[in-house]
Amino acid sequence: MTEGSSATETSPGNLNCYRITDDDHLGAGGPKQKFQQNLRAIATLRTLDAEERTATPDEKALLVKYVGWGAMPQIFDETNPDWAKEGEVLRGQLTNEEYERARATTLNAHYTAPVVIRAMYQAAKRFGFQGGKVLEPASGIGHFIGLMPEDMLRASAITGIEIDPLTARIAKALYPDADIREQPFEKSRLANGSFDLAISNVPFGDYTVHDPRWNSYKFSIHDYFFAATLEKVRPGGLVLFVTTHSTMDKLDSTLRELLSDKAELLGAIRLPNNAFKRNAGTEVTADIVMLRKLRTGESPSGAAWKAAVNH
pLDDT per position as a tens digit, 148-185: 999 999 999 999 999 999 999 999 999 999 999 999 99
How far are the Cα atoms of 143, 159, 160, 191 from residue 181, in angstroms, in the given order? 15, 8, 6, 14
Residue 14 in domain: no
97 and 137 share one domain: no
Number of domains in the chain: 2
167 and 250 share one domain: yes
Residue 17 in domain: no
Average pLDDT over residues 86-101: 94
Residue 16 in domain: no
Please, where are the H alpha helices in the chain?
31-51, 57-63, 84-93, 96-104, 114-126, 143-146, 150-154, 165-174, 221-232, 246-249, 254-262, 277-280
Distance CA 275, CA 119 (A): 13
Average pLDDT over residues 54-73: 95
36 and 160 share one domain: no
91 and 225 share one domain: no
User: Is 90 exceeded by the pLDDT of residue 210?
Assistant: yes
**How confident is the prediction for the chain on average, in pLDDT?**
90
**Backbone CA torsion sign across 295, 296, 298, 301:** positive
Which has the higher per-residue pLDDT, 290 or 106? 290
User: Is 80 exceeded by the pLDDT of residue 270?
Assistant: yes
94 and 227 share one domain: no
Domain range for 52 is: 22-104
86 and 217 share one domain: no
Distance CA 246, CA 234 (A): 26
Range with the lowest mean pLDDT among 100-109, 140-149, 211-220? 100-109
Distance CA 161, CA 154 (A): 20
Residue 55 in domain: yes
Helices 96-104 & 84-93 angle (0-180, nearest 10): 130
pLDDT category at 8 given cuts 50, 70, 90 is: very low
Range with the lowest mean pLDDT among 60-64, 99-103, 284-288? 284-288
85 and 45 share one domain: yes
Burial of 197 (0-12, 13-18, 19+ CB in 10 A): buried
Average pLDDT over residues 274-285: 61
- What confidence score (pLDDT) does residue 64 get? 98
Residue 162's CATH number: 3.40.50.150
Instruction: Name the domain boundary from 76, 104, 132.
Output: 104
- What confidence score (pLDDT) does residue 306 get? 63
161 and 86 share one domain: no
79 and 147 share one domain: no
64 and 146 share one domain: no
- What confidence score (pLDDT) does residue 166 get? 94
Percent of the chain residues past pLDDT 70, beyond the cut? 89
92 and 74 share one domain: yes
- What confidence score (pLDDT) does residue 280 get? 52
62 and 173 share one domain: no
